[in-house]
Structure 1
Amino acid sequence: MKITSHNASHNSLFQNIERVRRRRGKVRERNITLAHGSGGKAMQDLIDDIFVDTFDNPILSQLEDQASFNIASLMEHGDKLALTTDSYVVDPLFFPGSDIGELAINGTVNDLAVSGAKPLYLTCSVILEEGFSVETLRRVATSMKSAAKKAGVQIVTGDTKVVHRGAADKLFINTTGIGIIRPDVCISANNIQPGDAVIINGELGNHGAAILIARGELALETDIESDCQPLHDLVKTILDICPEVRAMRDATRGGLATVVNEFALSSNVGIRLKEECIPVCEEVKGVCEILGLDPLYLANEGKLVVVVGSKNAETVLAAMHSHPFGKNARIIGEVISSPTGVVLLKTSFGSDRILDMLVGEQLPRIC
């Protein structure tokens, strides 16, 4: 009887220990310390409290070193895998219309979407500077959760590193995304042909202008907000009506000018844009005039450049107008056979000028 009682006591003790081990930790400190990156309890508490509790999904909650998926369930969405990764180092972390957390989700979702993929899963890796506010990190994670929910994706694995004070600028985020492309879609810049139409889904330059003003380096007051938004549903709307889309790309760093130059070089064609057809809001035009910037090179985080055959252009444009993120879409140019690898801009004066790649640095730290 004594032996049975002794074993029962030990079993009860072990069960209590297991319950304690499974209990998620809480961060007690107000600021990030080097211990939060040490691999010990402080780091586990940070991961539990800020990321696991916030992102809260069954795959992440397993806390394995990797996320695993059932291949059959993935292939229900298509027959090709899309994989992309991006890092986000924006300054300031919070700016009119968005923040680094939402940016990290939407930026990677959009990189998947422009391949025609349905975004499904994301990773999240963060590099934190010693002394960074825990409450600010929690705010960023909450923003990521909200953006992921809107985009219909799950954050399923990640990593956390802490560097010494001064070795980073507060917070850097990397997100990697996985999506599936359906069988009838083959989007590539190599598909572009002379005669194709070039379409943009709305006004350019808002993100770059909003970041610039948010830094407080200029005595300017405007209502400009970042255009940060997920484009996957707009892409689906386009592909449902026209799966034969030639090429798509989101115009982020380097803006519209960089995207169309990449298209021209990849397909060995020329592109002519019409300046009067390119939508730019008056506030962005004003900021650019004051600072001597060109809005065609400003960064965007919710703008989609689409190239389609001329016979499908009006149909695609109408489909884009039916979506809230495409209501201001316009046909802004056409693909030409020569000069190859060159983008021309037909100005409001009727002359052509070469719209080259961005040379040098126009706006640092914008995404």
Structure 2
Amino acid sequence: MGHGGGGALSAELVEHLFSPAYGNPTLAGLADSAVLPPAGGRLAFSTDSYVVRPLFFPGGCIGDLAVNGTVNDLAMSGARPEYLSCAFILEEGVPLTVVGRVADAIGAAAAAAGVTVVTGDTKVVESGHGDGVYLNTSGIGRVPEGVDIRPQRAAPGDVVIVSGPIGLHGVAILSVREGLEFGAEVPSDTAPLNGLVEAMLSVTREVHVLRDPTRGGLAAALNEVAAASGTGVALDERGVPVPEAVAGACGFLGLDPLYVANEGRLVAWVPRAEADAVLAAMRAHPAGAGAAVIGECVADHPGLVVARTAMGGTRVVDLPLGEQLPRIC
């Protein structure tokens, strides 16, 4: 509990654990707030909290998940993420070696995404009142001139593209949390997407919508945009890239891959005239190598997502009532 009290132990935690993990001149000042260069233009601002269990999973941990999640939220508005804050809520008794591993993962993920952790906070709660480590990250990014990406811009005729195979993060969390084996280790897809978005915008500024299909999976992302824009989505279920391991796990557990969470994928609504160029740019970037066209935006059935099934029929893909896989982020 002393590490959350603001005294010598708190100072040691900052000096010997957090500062080396994130080291940068802005943070080194240890002021009550970070003083940043003048912004200019439009800013994007986002915040999110992370309570995933377990803390470490195939392909990542709560630390890089928190960085990537906030970076991606900013990137979905077309912003170039620049600065992050990071607050730790620690349960009394969590080993400092665990906290150190998480902090190192945060520093590495921030460096990989090209962002800087400029401020933070630490609180400690009594044993039994937390679950080891919770994180909150907030981020600021700059929106380039001429970029207008928001759900309301989806329009009939837009092509809907997903950046790669879906369902990996949810299955990765489930496998280690429940001790399940699916024939091969399924790694999370957690990754920063700001580089991929920049590659897309270098081809055209006419990207109408971007969404990262996290909680609720692809189905939730499609439904949210359909509702916000008053359009429909005609989804070709056969075109959705579902890895064999994810399909097998979902079949075994009675889950629908469309509702399983992702942490390193995006869905884009792009005018048909720009779709081929955007798809090529996505596939040329490591984060979009598995990009695929999965459907189109239509004037029919506004607010609804209708899937063409592999059997040739159709079905409505609703918003999930709750989370199939709780605490995936």
Q: TM-score range by the shorter chain?
A: over 0.9
Which residue in 2 is equivalent to 1:153? 115
- Matched residues in 2 for 1:177 and 1:183: separation? 19
State which of 317, 342, 351 in structure 1 corresponds to 2:279: 317
Once the two structures are superposed, the pairs formed by residues 180-199 of structure 1 within 5 Å of their partners are 180-199=142-161
**Cα deviation 1:91-111 (Å, max 9, x = unaligned):** 110000111111011110011
Per the alignment, residue 83 of structure 2 pairs with: 121
Instruction: Give the deviation of 1:351 after TM superposition.
Output: 1.2
- What amino acid is aligned across from residue 176 of structure 1 in structure 2? S
Determine what percentage of the aligned residue pairs are the same residue. Answer: 49
CA displacement 1:311-349 (0-9 Å, x = unmatched) = 111111111111111111111000111211100011011
**Aligned pair 1:209/2:171, yes or no?**
yes
* Paired position in structure 1 for 2:4: 37
- The Cα of 1:218 is off from its aligned counterpart by 2.9
Q: What CA deviation, in whole Å up to 9, does each residue of 1:94-153 have, x standing for no partner?
A: 000111111011110011111100110000001000000101100111111111001111
Unpaired segments of 5 or more residues in structure 2? none
Pairing 1:85-234 to 2, within 5 Å after superposition: 85-234=47-196
| Aligned partner of 1:64 among 18, 27, 31 | 31
Q: Distance in 2 between matches of 1:251 and 1:192?
A: 16
- For residues 175 and 166 of structure 1, what CA distance do their matches in structure 2 show? 23
Cα deviation digits, residues 165-216 of structure 1 (max 9, x gap):
0000110000000000011100011011111100001000000001000114
Q: Following the alignment from structure 1 to structure 2, what is the Cα–Cα distance between the partners of residues 327 and 218?
A: 28
1:318-337 matched pairs, under 5 angstroms: 318-337=280-299
Change (3 A) 1:287 1:58: same
Write the mapping of 1:3-82 to structure 2, written as runs, cut at 5 A: 34-71=1-38, 74-75=39-40, 79-82=41-44
* 8 A Cα contact 2:182 2:248, kept in partner: no
Q: TM-score, normalised by structure 1?
A: 0.88
Q: Distance in 2 between matches of 1:252 and 1:295?
A: 12
* Higher Rg: 1
SS at match of 1:126: strand
Separation in structure 2 between the aligned mates of residue 283 and residue 91 of structure 1, nearest angstrom:
21
Residue 134 of structure 1 aligns to which amino acid in structure 2? L
Aligned counterparts of 1:215 and 1:360: Cα–Cα separation in 2: 19
Q: 1:288 — aligned with what? A: 250
**Which amino acid counterpart does residue 159 of structure 1 have in structure 2?**
D
